[in-house]
Structures are given as C-alpha cells and as structure tokens.
Amino acid sequence: MKTQVAIIGAGPSGLLLGHLLRAAGIDVVIIERVSADYVLGRIRAGVLERTTVELVERLGLDWRLKSEGLEHGGFNLADGERLIRIDLQDLVGTTVTVYGQTELTRDLMEAAPERGLEIIYEASDVAIHDHNSDTPSVTFSTGDGTEQKIEAEIVCGCDGFHGPSRRSISAGAGKTYERVYPFGWLGILSDVPPCHEELIYANHENGFALASMRSETRSRYYIQVPVDEDINDWSDDRFWDELALRLGPGPAETLVRGPSIEKSIAPLRSFVFEPMREGRLLLVGDSAHIVPPTGAKGLNLAASDVHYASAALVAYFNKGDNDAIAGYSAKALARVWKAERFSWSLTKLMHRFPDDSPFEREMQRAELDYIANSRAAQMSIAENYIGLPV
Ligand code: APR
Ligand code: PHB
C-alpha cells in the first residue's frame, strides 16, 4: 500500500489529524492497535478549549458537541472553607466546553467512512522504518496474521505514551523531561446529577478532589490517593464519604450518591520528549508529552499539536513548502511547555504532597487566599485554563 501520510493511532490526535488532512485532499491511512470499541471504552477528561472546539467546527463534525456539550463560563477552586470562582467569561471573555473525550472520539470515528478516512484496527507489531530517508514505511500484521507494509511520504506518531513512535527516534537524538507525582487519582463515573453546575477543584487536608461531569445526569469525580493504593480498598460508600469531606460543606449538601459505573486509579506524571520531529516522523499528542490531568490539558494539547502538524503538512503537500515541516517541533513545543507549567503549577497548588512540611501547606493556603482576592491572579489562571493562543 502507498499513501501520503501514515498515522499510527486512532485516539483523538490521530483521528483529528486524519480528518483535517483528508479535508485538505491528502491521502491518509490510520493504523490502530486495538478495536474501535476498545478505543471508545477509554474514560478520559472532557474539558475542551476553544481551539479544540474550533478544529471540530472546521471539520463540520461539531453537531453533537454543540447539542450535547455543556458550555461553562467558569470553574471553582475550593480550600475547605469557600468556593473561589474563576469567572472565565468575565476575566478572559470566553468559555470552555465540557464534552467527554469518548464522545469526541466517537464523532470522529463515525465520520471516517463518509470522509474517506481509512482506519485499520487491530493492527499488531506496528513498526516504523526509514523515517530519516525519503521513503519511510510502516509495517504491521492484521488480525489474520497477514504482514502488511504501507509506504508513506510522512509518518505521524499519534500512538500515545506507550506507542512505538517516540522509541523510533534515533538514540541520542532526543531528550526526555519527566516528573512522576507521589499520588494518583481515584476516579468514579456515576449516573447521578452533578453536585455543582461547574467544576470544583478542591484542596483539602486529606488531599485533592475534583467534581466534574459528562452531562446533566452523569457525574465524574476524583480524589487523590497514594500512588500504590489498592482500588479494592475503596467501596463506593467510602469514596462518596471522602469526596463529600474534601469538597466541603456546600457541595457536600448537594452531592447525589449512586453506584459507580466505572472506578479506576490513574497515576500522574509530567513528561516531555524533544524534539517532536525527526526526518519524516512527527510526534503528536501523548506520544510526545503527558500532563497531570489537573489542568485538563491532555486532550487540548493533542489538539494544538494537530493544529500545527496539519498546517505544516497541508503547506508541504499542497503548496510545495518543504520548510513547513521543519518548523513543527519548535512551534508545538512552545505551547506544550506552557501547558506543562500550568498543569504542574495547579497540581502543586491543589494536592497534598507526602513530603510537604507545614510551611508548604501554608504556602498553598496563602496562594489560594491571594487568588481569592486578586483579579490579576484569577486572570492568569483563567487565560491558562481556557488555553493560550495557538
Ligand atoms: N500501534 C498502533 N496504535 C497504537 C500503538 C501501536 N503500537 N500503541 C498505541 N496505539 C494507539 C492506542 O491504542 C490509542 O488508540 O494509539 C492511540 C493513542 O491515543 P491516546 O493515548 O488517547 O493519545 P492521543 O491520541 O495523543 O490523545 C491524547 O488521550 O490519553 C488521553 O489524556 C490524554 O486526553 C489526552 C488524549
Ligand atoms: C474530567 O471530567 O474527567 C476532568 C475534568 C477536568 C480535569 C480533569 C478531568 O482537570
């Protein structure tokens, strides 16, 4: 098989990029390791920045996002005594949209056939070859064990943190930056109405908590737990009791409990790999960077990488601009690092770190009190939360 762009991975990065390239008349094939159902089974964050929404609008695939997405004009920080509302609409004149990543992925997957976007699912042993030559290729085996090879002009690694693309960068050509946090998030999904009309990020003596949602009838909640926590130690009742305590008296009163339909613990890390391109291989999304979910940046960073990668590839294929691809890594990383900083900063502010002394705890309380009383501080948080300009 031959194509212009071979994309590895059918998560949000691969699907958004594939659709944008197809819309520009560029031939694309996506090679995905698991089934479509498996991809859709992943429960992920769902706060979309304006930039992300605009990509979906540009594709004309935003009809469900517009009808089912929840537009939020603000969010809240809780310090155990009060809610500190960050009024996005007033501070930075825009909103964010709450819409599950699973739903966005479903919209993009379902539109693929009609848009001529070929996705090969359940491909195994995916490997990238000769990405530093003019004739890169991707090999893999299909479900029946048949060996396949796709020759492409460009390969895009949208294969997430555990995929083969980052590992294909020449030894010594890349640099890794990482911080692994000493805690994880225990998340629960339940078909109960949210306890508050906007998100609440809580800093409590016992640890962090987050009240989020998927719709007006489905809630998503998280509490910080030790990184080696055994999920079997957490009954639904124990989770609800701890969540109510950490969110504080107001939200606890409106908290509706119900059976968990999903419960899992996710580790937190900050991670960046540089560069995001080598030869004809571009890294996009989680294959190049990971953020702690505190700032809701994971999906949105993938979208900004896609914004830069699609612009570079359209210029390369449709305008003969051979230099366009060369600028991709630096452009994408400039925004990645600022989102990494915001996610790290909000994680430091809102979580209990095991090694923190009473002094660090007082620093957190002082910073929250400063934010509560400073429009400038709130504006800084707001402009980062809605996403810095691409
Ligand atoms: N071959 C083919 N596909 C692969 C391989 C492989 N060897 N390894 C991984 N994949 C696929 C995964 O199955 C997954 O569908 O690549 C896809 C990567 O998707 P994500 O991990 O979701 O990464 P990305 O598309 O960049 O989206 C980032 O997803 O994980 C969240 O928090 C993250 O919200 C952010 C978003
Ligand atoms: C979620 O709804 O899953 C969610 C929302 C905001 C975050 C993280 C997760 O910062």
Q: Give tens-digit pLDDT for 246-264.
A: 999 999 999 999 999 999 9
What's the pLDDT tens digit per position in 279-290?
Answer: 999 999 999 999
- State yes or no: is 385 an active-site residue: yes
> Is 144's pLDDT higher than 90?
no
Residue partners of 88: CB distance under 8 A and separation at least 6 = 72, 73, 74, 75, 94, 95, 96, 382, 385, 386
Residue 375 counted as domain residue? no
pLDDT of the residue at 69? 95
pLDDT band at 304 (very low <50, low <70, confident <90, very high): very high
The pLDDT of residue 311 is above 90: yes
Ligand approaching nearest to the C-alpha of 221: 2
Phi, psi for 209 (deg, rounded to 5): -145, 150
Mapped onto helix, strand or coil, the DSSP state of residue 44 is coil
Q: Does residue 297 carry a catalytic annotation? A: yes
CB-CB contact of 335 with 390 (8 Å):
yes
- In ligand 1, the atom with minimum distance to the C-alpha of 45 is 34
- Looking at residue 93, its amino acid is G
Q: H-type helices in 160-201, by residue range?
A: 165-168
User: Is the pLDDT score of 112 beyond 90?
Assistant: yes
Q: Is 230 within the bounds of a domain?
A: no
Query: Residue 43 above 90 pLDDT?
Result: no
How far apart, in whole angstroms, are the C-alpha atoms of residue 306 and residue 16?
7
- 196, 221, 293, 328: the catalytic one is 293
Number of domains composing the chain: 1
Establish whether 162 is a catalytic residue.
no
231-238 long-range contacts (CB < 8 A, ≥24 apart) are: 231/186, 231/263, 231/264, 231/265, 234/186, 234/263, 236/188, 236/260, 236/263
Active site residue 331: no
Task: Indicate the pairing of strand 277-278 with strand 207-213.
Answer: unpaired
Whether 125 maps to a domain, the answer reads: yes
243 in a domain, yes or no?
no
Beta bridge partners of 343: none
Percent of the chain with pLDDT over 70: 100
Q: Which residue has the tokens 């964050």?
A: 45
Please report the pLDDT score of residue 151 as a whole number: 98
The range of the structural domain enclosing residue 312 comes to: 5-49+99-177+269-345
Average pLDDT on 148-174 reads 97
pLDDT tens for residues 86-99? Answer: 999 999 999 999 99
- The pLDDT of residue 385 is 98
Q: Sorting pLDDT into bands at 50, 70 and 90, what band is 224?
A: very high
Ligand 1 atom closest to 299 (CA): 34
Q: Whose CA is nearest to atom 1 of ligand 2?
A: 45
Whose tokens are 């001529």? That residue is 116
Residue tagged active-site, from 99, 121, 181, 201? 201
Q: For residue 270, what pLDDT band results from cuts at 50, 70 and 90?
A: very high
CB atoms within 10 A of CB 114: 7
Examine the pLDDT at 145 and tell me if it is beyond 90. Answer: no
Say how far apart CA 148 and CA 134 lie, in whole Å. Answer: 20
Atom nearest to 297 CA in ligand 2 = 10
Domain assignment present for 88 = no
Q: How confident is the model at residue 81 (pLDDT cuts 50, 70, 90)?
A: confident
Ligand 1 geometric centre to CA of 9 (Å) = 6
Query: pTM score, two decimals?
Result: 0.96
CATH number at residue 18: 3.50.50.60
70, part of any domain: no
Q: Is residue 295 part of a domain?
A: yes
Q: Measure the CA–CA gap between 75 and 88, rounded to whole angstroms.
A: 8
- Best of 19, 272, 286 for a ligand 1 pocket test (most atoms within 8 Å of beta carbon): 286
Residue 351 placed within a domain: no
Measured CA to CA, the distance from residue 43 to residue 92 in angstroms comes to 29
Give the separation between CA 309 and CA 165, rounded to whole angstroms.
Answer: 15
| Residue 309 confidence (pLDDT) | 98
39 Cα: distance to centroid of ligand 1 (angstroms): 8
Q: What average pLDDT does the chain have? A: 96
DSSP string, 288-318: TEE--GGGS-HHHHHHHHHHHHHHHHHHHHH
Based on C-alpha coordinates, what's the Rg of the chain? 21
Question: Residue 162 Cα, ligand 1 centroid: separation in angstroms?
Answer: 8
Q: Tell me what the mean pLDDT of segment 153-174 comes to.
A: 97
Once rounded to an integer, what is the mean pLDDT over residues 178-205? 97
CB 158 within 8 A of CB 16: no
